[in-house]
């Protein structure tokens, strides 16, 4: 069935039926959603929520679709924010959910405001950033998030919660748990820091430090440039090669478990955590099991970063899921560790 464009309210909301989702997920998996609707204001979102309730539809809020794997058609309504204002007042930037993430980073860095520079070029939108607490090169979104405003799906009220109330963790937040079905994020406020002599640059990631010094020294704009450079060299551009960045999380293990692995693989890549446990590099484990660069049909393991799965063209979500299951199986057999997906699988 072809997409149908219906107007359902005075606010001019258009609603698409049987909508192709290929362009709305960075894996470029070709599934359809039963309904698809965009909102560019709080009012238009409430209209969509009314329609959803009347028709008893399940929903999915989708920003850039940069962290999702569709394995089948979505039998509900996809709600897509397109509101895209950025308002900067002093050192606080408030960005609408539909703002492209890197546009926010570019804007704030160009104004001399630091905090997001290490998060340059992460695909996706501002509204998705708090959900999985995006992170890279020693920095996480939670380090700058001051508050998040969301619409309650049931109570239709505007809520504002502080960064602390978001219960941020490693690729985790309240929006993946208590508020999973209950919140549609409308805007996010970031507390930034004006660049000055005592600005706390974060160049603890070795390759970033090296690249920044190659560029002539540390500054937020050089950190942005270096980050873009490193990401472009390791991670596929989703516009060219479908992917959702890291497919799995780096697993956390206790010291005894790490010691057991070290006794067999002295070169294991790991990082100590504040709680006394260790994070082991999932990319290293996947590479060690021989999967780097290998494919099952059109679903493949990226040849420059084994934590990233890619769609070489026309892979289905099921193909990618099968590949991920094979990888999990081999990693568990070799290391006794179960990998957990970072992407949301639907």
Active site residues: 171, 246, 342
- Report the nearest approach of ligand EPU to the CB of residue 241 (Å): 14
Question: Minimal distance in Å, beta carbon 295 to ligand EPU?
Answer: 15
CA distance 221 to 225: 6
9 contributes a contact to ligand EPU by CB under 6 A: no
34: contact with ligand EPU by CB under 6 A: no
Written as six digits, the tokens of 204 are: 């603890």
Q: Which stretch binds ligand EPU (CB under 6 A): 146-154, 258-266, 302-310, 331-339?
A: 302-310
Of the residues 18, 193, 221, 281, which one makes contact with ligand EPU according to CB under 6 A: 281
Q: Does 300 bind ligand EPU (CB under 6 A)?
A: no
Helix H or strand E segment including 109: helix 101-110
H or E segment at 37?
strand 32-39
- Near ligand EPU by CB under 6 A: residue from 199, 265, 270, 284: 284
Nearest to ligand EPU of 11, 294 (CB atom): 294
- CB nearer ligand EPU, residue 114 or residue 283: 283
Shortest spacing between CB 184 and ligand EPU, in angstroms: 23
Residue matched to tokens 């900067």? 88
Tell which residue, 192, 208, 198, has the closest CA to residue 107.
192
Number of residues binding to ligand EPU, judged by CB under 6 A: 18
By CB under 6 A, residue 45 contacts ligand EPU:
no
Which residues 6+ apart lie within 8 Å of 209 measured at CB? 203
Q: How many CA atoms lie within 13 A of 214 on its CB side?
A: 11
SS3 270: strand
Q: Which stretch binds ligand EPU (CB under 6 A): 87-95, 151-159, 211-219, 282-290?
A: 282-290
Secondary structure, 3-state, 179-226: CCCCEEEEEEEEECEECCCCCCCCCCCHHHHHHHHHCCCCCHHHHHHH
- Per CB under 6 A, the list member of 15, 136, 185, 327 interacting with ligand EPU is 136
Q: Which two tokens stand for residue 186?
A: 């409308």
Q: Near ligand EPU by CB under 6 A, which window of 21-29, 191-199, 241-249, 314-322?
A: 241-249
Q: Using CB under 6 A, pick the residue from 120, 305, 311, 324 that binds ligand EPU.
A: 305
- Contact pick of 64, 242, 283, 317 for ligand EPU (by CB under 6 A): 283
Q: How many of the other CB atoms lie within 10 Å of CB of 313?
A: 9
| In contact, 182 and 208? CB cutoff 8 Å | no
Instruction: Report the residue from 40, 73, 91, 287 that binds ligand EPU according to the rule CB under 6 A.
Output: 287
Candidates 323, 329, 339; CA nearest to 243 is 323
The residue ranges that bind ligand EPU (CB under 6 A) are 136-137, 234-235, 245-246, 249-250, 269, 281, 283-284, 287, 292, 305-307, 342
């Amino acid at each position: 069935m072809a997409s149908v464009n219906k107007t359902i309210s005075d606010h001019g909301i258009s609603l698409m039926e049987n909508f192709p989702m290929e362009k709305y997920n960075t894996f470029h998996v070709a599934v359809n959603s039963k309904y698809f609707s965009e909102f560019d204001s709080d009012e238009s979102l409430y209209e969509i929520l009314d329609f959803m309730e009347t028709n008893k539809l399940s929903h999915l809020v989708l920003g850039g679709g940069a962290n999702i794997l569709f394995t089948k058609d979505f039998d509900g309504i996809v709600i897509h924010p397109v509101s895209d204002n950025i308002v900067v007042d002093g050192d606080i930037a408030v960005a609408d959910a539909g703002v492209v993430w890197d546009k926010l980073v570019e804007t704030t860095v160009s104004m001399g405001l630091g905090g997001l520079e290490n998060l340059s070029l992460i695909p996706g939108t501002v509204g998705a950033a708090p959900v999985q607490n995006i992170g890279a090169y020693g920095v996480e979104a939670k380090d700058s998030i001051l508050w998040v405003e969301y619409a309650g799906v049931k109570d239709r009220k505007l809520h504002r919660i502080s960064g602390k109330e978001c219960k941020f963790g490693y690729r985790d937040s309240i929006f993946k748990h208590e508020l999973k079905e209950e919140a549609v994020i409308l805007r996010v406020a970031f507390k930034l820091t004006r660049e000055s002599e005592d600005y706390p640059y974060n160049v603890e990631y070795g390759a970033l430090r090296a690249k920044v010094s190659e560029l002539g020294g540390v500054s937020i704009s050089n950190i942005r440039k270096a980050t873009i450079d490193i990401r472009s060299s390791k991670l596929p551009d989703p516009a060219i090669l479908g992917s959702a960045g890291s497919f799995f999380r780096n697993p956390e293990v206790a010291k005894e478990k790490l010691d057991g692995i070290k006794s067999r693989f002295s070169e294991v890549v790991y990082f100590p955590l504040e709680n006394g446990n260790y994070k082991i590099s999932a990319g290293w484990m996947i590479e060690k099991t021989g999967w780097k660069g290998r494919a099952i049909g059109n679903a493949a393991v990226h040849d420059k970063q084994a934590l990233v799965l890619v769609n070489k063209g026309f892979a289905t979500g099921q193909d990618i899921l099968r590949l991920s299951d094979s990888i999990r199986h081999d990693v568990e057999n070799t290391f006794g560790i179960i990998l957990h997906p970072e992407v949301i699988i639907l």
